[in-house]
Structures are given as C-alpha cells and as structure tokens.
Structure 1
C-alpha cells in the first residue's frame, strides 16, 4: 500500500505489490492469549497477514473448516526470490482448530485484467446464492494524481472457499474522484426494528469517509444512487458490521496502519438501531460529526503489539466471540529492504460491557497462551472474562499541580523558546491563556514553545482541562492543537492534544523518537471546546520500561468533576525522571487555548 497522505501525526498506510505464486504448506502456531499467528516458513516466523476476513465451512469429513483471507504480501522475512520479497495475491489459510493454520493458495494466480498492476487489499469473504464471494480492494485502479482518486472494489466467485476464483471482470464499486474506494464489507440487512432484507456494501477510507450502498441480487454490482455516508471524512476506514443485542455495531479503524514500531492504528465502534445509521458512540456522539465520535474497542496496551486494526469477528461453538485483526510486533516491525510494515494476524476474545464491545475485557492484545476457542461442536469455552480497571489519580502532588489562580506560577519555557509578549499569561478567570502558535514540535521542525515543570520521581498521573474553541463545523484549521506533553527533549516526548485535522476535530495521542519513523499517533475520544486530558505513567518493575496510558473525556458530573473517562492507547518510551510535564499550543494561528488546571498525582496501584 503506497503512501497515502502525510498529516502532522497522521501518516497513512504503505505496502508493496509484486507478484509470485508459491504453493507451500505452512503450519501456523499460537503464541498469545487470543493469539497471534506465528510458526515457520523458510526458517522464519509467519509475520504478515493484514486485513483478515474469516468464514466457517462444514467439510466432507464432518469437521468445521475455518478459512482466513488476507491482503497481498509476503508471508515472512524469508519469503523472497533472489533476495526480493514475494507478494502473494491475497493469501488463503485454513484451520480446524483456529490455532494451527495451513496455507491453501493465493486467491489469484495473476491479477484480473481490469485492475492493471493494482495492489490487491482487504479481502471480504461472503457466502450467498449458493457460492462464495470474495470482495477486494484494487487499490490503484484509478489515478492517485488528485486527492481522493484511486481505488475500486472488485469481486471474485467460487464454488469452494479454497477456489479457484473467477473474477467478475469489472468494479462492484467504481473509482471516485472525491473519496478513497477501499476496504469493503458486505452486510445483509436482516436485523433490528425494520430490516430491508437487502445486502449493502460498505466501503471507504480516510479521504471521503466510509459509505454504504445497495448491492445487486447477484452480488456483482452496486447502486450508486443509493450511496449513504456512514462516517465523516479524515477519520475511519476498514468497516466491519457486527450484530448484537438488537443493534448494529460498526467497527472501523483509525490512525496509521503501517508505521513500523510507531503504528497507532486502533479500532473504534459506533452503534445504530438500523444498518445505515446514524452510528453513535458510547457518549452519544455521531461518527458523522466533525468532532468525530467512536468508542475504542482495542488500541495498543504497552506490550509488544501495537497498531491493532482492520478486523473481522467470529462466534465459536461455545458462544464466545473472537476478534480477528492484525497488529505489529514493535520488536520486529518491518521487512528488511521492503520499506513496509509487518502486520501479524491476531485472535483475541471479544467481550461486551454494558452494551459496548471491548477486546479481552479492555486488556486488549495479549501474549500468554491460556485459552483455546471452541472451533468444533461440543468443545468447551475455557475463557473467563475479567475487566480492566482504568488508571485513576491517587494522592495529589500540590507542588506540581496548578489551578492557575495566581497563587503560584513556577513553570518555565523549554529550550529558551519564549512566546511573543502578550500571547500568554494568567487570566482573571483563573486560567492560563496560550495563543496557538505558527510553530511545531514535529520531527525536524522544533520551534514551538513548551511550558514545562518537573515530573515526579516515581509513577504519576497528570490531568489537564484544556479549552480550544475550534468549532465542529468541518472547516479546515490544520493542524491547530493544544494539550499536554511528557517532554524529555524535542525528539523524545509523548503528546496528548485536541487537534484539528482537515474538517475534523480529534484527540491525538502521539509519540516521537529520534530514529526510524520518528513520529506515530493514535486517536482517543471526541473533543469539545473544553476537553479533559489524562496521561498515566507507570514503570514496569521487571523490565524498567516506562508506559504512558491516555484518557480523555468531555463529560462532568453534577459537581463539575470529569467522569466517563475514555481509555485510549498506551505508548512505551524512555523519558526518565529528568523529563518534564509540558503544555503546548501550536501548529496554527487564529485561536487561543486556555488551561484551567494541571493536576499531578500519584497513580492508584
């Protein structure tokens, strides 16, 4: 997947598109609770299988056979010809236990004529009309010369889940000039209060957002006149619909899928009574809003897996649901000489908490084998749900906390970068005012002012209430932002901000390091004029590794205290005890941020 767009902190996906057909048999073994797909091929671990889609089929042997389909690419680091990485044209794997997987074949032995040399991504497997349909993205079917052009959805059919596959010879969803036509998912509208009985095809990505339209009865065409917007632009891709508890749930992925060890891709959910929406998140915010809604179902949690995204799901024979997705091992994150990210297929239990899905009780991706899915009739469920306890403040550290009421002010400016006189200071309303600067803290541009104070010597939680009055009206205010940083220097920090990204307003949680891709980000909950931000820092006592976990909210109780904190992703970093807590207001002009308070406390055990 060649580079799409680069925003400050929002860098999109990449891959390759060469061709090789290799007929091999590969056994894939489990190594996580849930588990990642691993094993050996040509002496190397199974390392790649993005955008998985899965289906169960009863075989002639009486067993259930599970088939998984993945985006084109190599299988592992050693999957090469004369030193060049091979790219299978969408991989098919098969399993009878959802643990050990065998390579079956590639979907195509050569690209369909209509797609030209296009990369083939994101297969979506369906069965209806007595045959199998495999929908896929032809990523380069159109020109990428103008914003929004490029990409179309194709389909191939077969009488067997293993193929051979016959392509339809034309696009099901055509190339469009105003949106990226990627990442399809077909859904039968047979659920909820007023089902139509029709099939719809969902598709779309960051440019233009996710859309849906009617699919023809033969599954080979779509009705462009029925096209409906499902999400706002600049936020989501990789749609997947799950039916649960009388509602439709839209799973979709946000941020960067393919940024090596800084991949911040994460999965968010909205809920609707009807298939075509509107979808709203746990807080009632629409996924169509400029201040985009979406409740996290999984993000990175501080272990070796980052960038969990682009999912499918299944229900095993014991009734336990499992999320199927891809993630990046941050210790082995990219193909040598290939210039793109390894994305490993993953399985983890999908739980439901008060009507909302979360992976593994909110603990998210895991590393320890403990449970097996019930892949065949009669097998038991051994998984027991436990729910994560979010970080919360312990004892306030008054010498590092500031209500900005004028009683004290001990902050200083990092690196001597003092803002212009009159653009910052305490206000009569008991806030710290800080005009958004035409300056930045992003890779090699490091001219933004950072207001700093020391961090505590041990684990801590920092919370701030931040005002950034950029209206949620879809106007472009790139990339004005304000919030908090944990700052060692200009090339080593963690950042949590309310930011304008094109027509959207989002909360971005970012990490910068001095090497490799340098900058990565994920997204958390929707912002408002006033947004509450939290970062909880903990140190792993066994490894010494520092973890920084994010939270946001815009809601308060009757006493005006923040409630309903949204648990976001966790970055690891090595910032140490000489790092600083910082405030930033940057990457634009025309607005003034205000900080109502900064409160630093111990973090509850």
Structure 2
C-alpha cells in the first residue's frame, strides 16, 4: 500500500473510533462448542463414501457422496447430497441427478462416483467420475462436470466429459477417475484426477471450469494413488492422495499421503525429499488407521472453519461392520471428520493420532462479536441491510465505513466473509493491522511492514468471492479465493511481524463491499508437535545371527535355502505366498516375550530394483495366528512401484472360509530397510500391531495398526516370498537380526 493510501486509511480509522467507541462492548463469551462423534453421517446414512464439502451462500455446509446405496437394501443413487449448520445435525437432500437429468453421454449402466464441488463465476460446479461412457461401453471412465445455481441443484450436466477416457493401448482404459479442482495463484484452474491404473494427473481447465486445456501432466507414479485433493498453504501446493485398497471390507488399508510443490504441476515431494512420481514412491502420512474401530480412512476433502482450523472429511470402515451388503459386496463407508494439524509444514490428522472414535470438537461455525453470520448487518455499525437473493439471504452493504458493534478478541482473530468487492475495500483488525483489496492487489500493513500479492488479471469483483483475514502468532495472512471455505486462492499476502500484539477492538471496514456469511472468531490454537510413536526400552531378547538358529526359533514349512552365515540370515525369496488358498510359503518364528506390550525389530536387505514389474517380491516380519489370519510388514514390489506394505488377511465369510486381504502403505521403500512391529493388548483383549519403518535405523515412520482377535498372542516371525514374476534367480533377503524390546 502506498504511504499516502495508508495515511488516509489510518485517519479514517481514527475518525471512526471517535464516533463509535461508546457503542462497542467487549466480546461475549464464546458459544458452547458443538461436539461430533464419528461417523457424522450416521443420522441419515450407513454409507456416504468419497465425500466432498462446501459452504453454501446460505451458510449451510453441504456434503456430497458417491452413488452407493445409503442403507442396506437401498437402491444405488445418482450421487447424494446432505447439509448441516453445525456438523452436529444433518439433513439429507436427495440425489444430485435423476434418471432424466444424468449425463446423456454416460452408458446406461454407468455409476457416478467421487464428486468434487466448487463455487466460482456465480454458480456451483461439480466434477464427478462417470465409470462408463456411451462411446465405448464396457468400462472407459471419464470425468464429468455439472453446474447449478444453488448447492442443492438443480444440476445440469454438460454435453460431454471435461476429461475424456484415456486408452491404455491394450484394448482397455486408464483410470480417469476421482476429480478435484484447484484455483491457483497464477490465476488458472487445475483439475487433478486419476487412480491406481495410470497415476494421478493434472490438467488446466478453462476459466469456466468446463473444458480441459492442453496436455495433462502426470504427478504420481502409476499404481500408488487415487482420490487426489490439493490445497495451497504458506507458499506450497500440497497434493494428497489415497493409497492401497478402498474397499476390502475388514482388511481395508486405505490411507492418505501428501507431497508438496511450489508449482501446482509438481513435482510433489514428501517430508523426506522423496518424489511421489518415483518408483520408490514418496508420501508423508496425513491419516492412517490407529487400532480403534476405524480402518481404511481415505478419499477425503479439506475444509477450513470460522476459527481457521483445517479439517479432513473422509470415509472409513468400522472393522466390525464392514459390509453394507453381504461379505464381498458393497463396503459400508460412512463419512467422518477430524482436525488437521500442520506440524513442521505437513498436514497430520489429530497430530498423527488418526481417526477419532470419541466425541471431538466440531468445526467452528457461525460468528462471535455479536454477529449473525447469515444476516450480518445487525452486528455492525455503519452497514445497511441488503435483501440479498433467494440463495444467500440478507447481506450487509458497506459504503464508506463500518465496524462491529462488539470487540473482536485480543491475541488472535480471523475475519471471514463472502464478499462482492468494490474497487477499494480495507479491513482493520486489532486497531493496527490493515488489509486492503485495492486495484489488482491484496496488501497487508502491520508493524511498519508491508506485503502484497497480485490478483489474477481476470479477477471478477462483481461475483461472490471469499476474503479471509487472519492474525495469529505474529503472522498476518490475507487471502482472496473462491467461496466455500476450501483450499483455493486467487491471491494471498502473508506478513510475519515478530512480537505483534493484537488488542481487543472492533473490526473496521473502509470502502465498498457487500458481505455475507461474515464470521469474526479467535483463531484456533495450533498443535505443533506430532504425537509420539512407540519407543523402545530395554532389550528383552535378540538373535544377531552369529550362530545357528537356536531353540527360540521354529519353522512352519521349513526352507532349506534359508541359512545363517557371516552374522546374517540369508533367505532366497520363495516363489510362494500366504494370500488366499496358496498358503505354501515358509515362515520362521521366534518366541515372543511374555507381557502385553513389546516391540520387535529387524533390518532386512532386499534389492527389488526400480521401475520394472516384479509382482510380488517381498520380505519382512509377520504376526501370525494361522494361515488365514495374519498381518505382515514387508518391503514389496507392487507393479512398477516399490512400497512398504502392512498387509492383513482374515476369514471374511465364515460360511465357506473365504478370505479377504488388504494392505496399508507406510513410509518409503529402500534396499536396506529397518522394520518394527509394536505390539500391545487393548482393553478388549485384542492383539494390536502397529508398523514402523526406517531407512537409517534412527528416524522412524509409524504407520497403520491392524487388530488381531483376542486370545493367544500371535506368533512373530520372518518371511521372504512373493508369488512373483521378474528376476531369475530369485533375489535374496538378508536379515541382520531380530530383536525384542520393551515398549514405552
């Protein structure tokens, strides 16, 4: 902001203060915090998968889901809609499409999956997966798009896909699924899509969001991620994707991982500097299962509440009621929500604790400072009430100067509003922090410092957008973005002012704008430390392989090729497996310590190469009850990727003994990999194993937990097998030791 402009604003603020101070009062006590308990969709649905959310102009938060039946025995829908004011109570609104309004270019038997919702250009825009098009019936997925004047519809689909099916060259089609839009700081809109078959891609779309532009860019390796979602924060674009299997009933190991980039097109790199498009694929854990009732958390959306707290909205499966229909039918995937904490620059669900199954604070909605967010003029001085429109209702019009009747809180404050901006509009918080949207810039002035960001050349002030001003912990952030409380932006100015003290004072505005959904709140207190993972205590038992296998070891299906020599156990991978009916692989068990809590650790060397197909060469540790009930942690080749997988098999249908297998990804793969399984017995007597990996034996990444039934403690052992194709002769897995520690 030019000095002259800043002086004019300061004078206006002083004049306003002289005329309005007597009318202001201290902020009332905060509203009682609503609590939610997962699953938040349980009042109206048994399953509400692949959720997307947006705050509508009417103040409601709307949620959308894929087209599975809502309840057991119900019909398939055409994607679902629901809404809430406080995330504590919900209203089901019906389906997005009917048989008469669904896309005409979809094949008759097509399903509609994974909606993504945005608001720009004065209308709501929804992207979704069409599993089969009429052009190539039989399974050629594409991305569709529809628009609506309100978040509840009516929805009008376009005449064709925004992203067309992509042939794989072998008579089939790549996975053009799971769309998610981002409006970026360069003024362009980007659509992310894709899945395990072909990888995640991003394509630019036209300003109206209805057509793809140019060639897409692949941003992840071809067989690791689906369900993408991208948010912008502190100068970084964060790409998040779901990994492993969404829908394996009681063995679903879905989890969400993230990478970040300075460009919306990547490359996206995780916290360890590993790219998400490499064979030894990267990804920093956002959410994974923790051993409580919820497994397979994933396919998520992000939202920011009125207190500036981010939340992840996702689906998961109750491990004890995993099916909506009979076993191996439709998975029961209700909608959940949890807090996101940004720790060392990375999004972590509840500081790494994962899905919650107890009452938690709901997202903060509505306003403090005496403001009714959906009819805001009553809490303001100097504003006039506008009738608004049938969607948004009454709004507050500012023409000159206005302020809140009550003080905003001291220490920190967030001011959020849907806005239609005039040529110049300034927000003043704490009496000293000035944020202006003037001309083509967003400018922040505080503590004698200035920061600014440029709006896109085609930014439309006449449309409803969102303006957010946040002051907390010595940082002022001002963002202009699409409406809806999501992670997009048109421009963001961010200014660090060490020692900045924010006093309780009215929020003041100068200029011209129309406001709706205005909220003034104290900023949520951030959580900055990751929840601790399991820690090793004293050594309880160990075999360093400095001699033959002692009496603590026992074999199931002995393998004479596994030998102890030179301080190592060398074991050529068997062309065998434990999954399904095969059960022909050798397992080497070691007697586990007594007690309800311990950690087993090994180091394994296994050269899996990179980039070629070696399904499914692997080696690692296994927690074993029997051939159809186990959890195994392995360094494994899965198609062209190299991953660490914590897999689970169990009997899913007692009538015929049919088994289900699924896995959860964790950490990164390396030729030399340290592994841990942390064991404890929970309050129900069940046996819980949590997996951890390390590439240096010092820094550990703790991932998913699997729960095995109560009763006798499962055996703990080693394995080296694969049911593989690829290298001949078989690679050799070399184990340096197996140790057992106390678990702190």
Same fold (TM over 0.5): yes
CA shift at 1:124, angstroms? 0.6
Q: How far apart, CA to CA, are the structure 2 residues paired with 1:129 and 1:40?
A: 34
Residue 427 in structure 1 maps to residue 565 in structure 2: yes
8 Å Cα contact 1:372/1:382 also seen in 2: no
Residue 536 in structure 1 maps to residue 678 in structure 2: yes
CA shift at 1:143, angstroms? 5.6
1:333-372 Cα deviation digits (max 9, x unpaired): 1123481101111110000111111001111111221413
Aligned to 2:621: 484
Q: How far apart, CA to CA, are the structure 2 residues paired with 1:70 and 1:185?
A: 13
Q: How far apart, CA to CA, are the structure 1 residues paired with 2:641 and 2:687?
A: 31
172, 177, 183: which is aligned to 2:178?
183
Aligned to 2:475: none
CA shift at 1:137, angstroms? 0.2
Pick closer, same or farther for the CA change 1:272–1:217 going to 2, 3 Å: same
8 Å Cα contact 1:371/1:382 also seen in 2: no
Q: Does 519-528 or 232-241 show the bigger shift?
A: 519-528
Q: How far apart, CA to CA, are the structure 2 residues paired with 1:171 and 1:501?
A: 31
Aligned to 2:592: 455
Q: Does 168-177 or 104-113 show the bigger shift?
A: 104-113
Q: How far apart, CA to CA, are the structure 2 residues paired with 1:552 and 1:341?
A: 30
**Aligned to 2:361, what secondary structure does the other structure show?**
coil
CA shift at 1:218, angstroms? 2.6
Pick closer, same or farther for the CA change 1:76–1:384 going to 2, 3 Å: farther
Residue 163 in structure 1 maps to residue 153 in structure 2: yes
Q: How far apart, CA to CA, are the structure 2 residues paired with 1:316 and 1:176?
A: 37
**Aligned to 2:325, what secondary structure does the other structure show?**
coil
Q: How far apart, CA to CA, are the structure 2 residues paired with 1:120 and 1:281?
A: 31
CA shift at 1:243, angstroms? 1.1
1:488-511 Cα deviation digits (max 9, x unpaired): 221221100001011111011011
8 Å Cα contact 2:687/2:713 also seen in 1: no
Q: How far apart, CA to CA, are the structure 2 residues paired with 1:425 and 1:534?
A: 22
Please list every run of 5 or more consecutive structure 2 residues that lacks an aligned counterpart in the other structure. Answer: 1-32, 169-173, 369-520, 654-658
Q: Does 245-254 or 385-394 show the bigger shift?
A: 385-394
8 Å Cα contact 1:413/1:449 also seen in 2: no
Aligned to 2:265: 276
**Aligned to 1:58, what secondary structure does the other structure show?**
coil
8 Å Cα contact 1:31/1:37 also seen in 2: no
Residue 569 in structure 1 maps to residue 738 in structure 2: no
Q: How far apart, CA to CA, are the structure 2 residues paired with 1:144 and 1:334?
A: 29
Q: How far apart, CA to CA, are the structure 2 residues paired with 1:219 and 1:397?
A: 60
> Once superposed, what is the RMSD of the aligned Cα atoms?
2.1
Aligned to 2:664: 522
The 5 A counterparts of 1:101-112 are 101-110=90-99, 111-112=102-103
Residue 343 in structure 1 maps to residue 486 in structure 2: no
The 5 A counterparts of 1:338-487 are 339-378=329-368, 385=527, 387-398=530-541, 401-406=542-547, 409-410=550-551, 412-415=553-556, 417-419=557-559, 421=560, 423-428=561-566, 430-458=567-595, 459-472=597-610, 474-487=611-624
CA shift at 1:377, angstroms? 2.3
Q: How far apart, CA to CA, are the structure 2 residues paired with 1:575 and 1:490?
A: 17
Pick closer, same or farther for the CA change 1:136–1:515 going to 2, 3 Å: closer
Aligned to 1:74: 69
**Aligned to 1:182, what secondary structure does the other structure show?**
coil
Q: How far apart, CA to CA, are the structure 2 residues paired with 1:485 and 1:437?
A: 15
Pick closer, same or farther for the CA change 1:315–1:404 going to 2, 3 Å: same
Q: How far apart, CA to CA, are the structure 2 residues paired with 1:374 and 1:40?
A: 20
8 Å Cα contact 2:248/2:660 also seen in 1: no
CA shift at 1:57, angstroms? 2.1
Q: How far apart, CA to CA, are the structure 2 residues paired with 1:66 and 1:551?
A: 37
Residue 298 in structure 1 maps to residue 287 in structure 2: yes
Give the TM-score, by structure 2 length: 0.70
72, 93, 106: which is aligned to 1:115?
106
Pick closer, same or farther for the CA change 1:390–1:201 going to 2, 3 Å: same
CA shift at 1:520, angstroms? 2.1
Larger radius of gyration: 2
8 Å Cα contact 1:31/1:367 also seen in 2: no
Q: Does 310-319 or 338-347 show the bigger shift?
A: 338-347
Number of equivalences:
538
Q: How far apart, CA to CA, are the structure 2 residues paired with 1:235 and 1:447?
A: 28
Q: How far apart, CA to CA, are the structure 2 residues paired with 1:382 and 1:546?
A: 36
Pick closer, same or farther for the CA change 1:32–1:374 going to 2, 3 Å: closer
The 5 A counterparts of 1:209-358 are 209-223=199-213, 225-337=214-326, 339-358=329-348
8 Å Cα contact 1:34/1:348 also seen in 2: no
Q: How far apart, CA to CA, are the structure 2 residues paired with 1:157 and 1:282?
A: 37
Q: Does 196-205 or 136-145 show the bigger shift?
A: 136-145
1:259-297 Cα deviation digits (max 9, x unpaired): 112111111111111111111111111001101101111
Aligned to 2:38: 35
Aligned to 2:734: 594
CA shift at 1:380, angstroms? 6.1
Give the TM-score, by structure 1 length: 0.85
132, 139, 160: which is aligned to 1:140?
132
Aligned to 1:559: none
CA shift at 1:393, angstroms? 1.1
Q: How far apart, CA to CA, are the structure 2 residues paired with 1:574 and 1:227?
A: 46
Aligned to 2:75: 86
8 Å Cα contact 2:41/2:90 also seen in 1: no
165, 176, 196: which is aligned to 1:206?
196
Pick closer, same or farther for the CA change 1:32–1:296 going to 2, 3 Å: farther
Q: How far apart, CA to CA, are the structure 2 residues paired with 1:282 and 1:209?
A: 21
Please list every run of 5 or more consecutive structure 1 residues that lacks an aligned counterpart in the other structure. Answer: 1-29, 191-195, 557-561
Pick closer, same or farther for the CA change 1:576–1:246 going to 2, 3 Å: same
1:439-480 Cα deviation digits (max 9, x unpaired): 1111211111111111112121001111110112x1001000
8 Å Cα contact 1:33/1:348 also seen in 2: no
CA shift at 1:425, angstroms? 0.9
Pick closer, same or farther for the CA change 1:514–1:73 going to 2, 3 Å: closer
Aligned to 2:646: 509
CA shift at 1:412, angstroms? 4.1
Pick closer, same or farther for the CA change 1:513–1:40 going to 2, 3 Å: same
8 Å Cα contact 2:249/2:322 also seen in 1: yes
Q: How far apart, CA to CA, are the structure 2 residues paired with 1:332 and 1:601?
A: 34
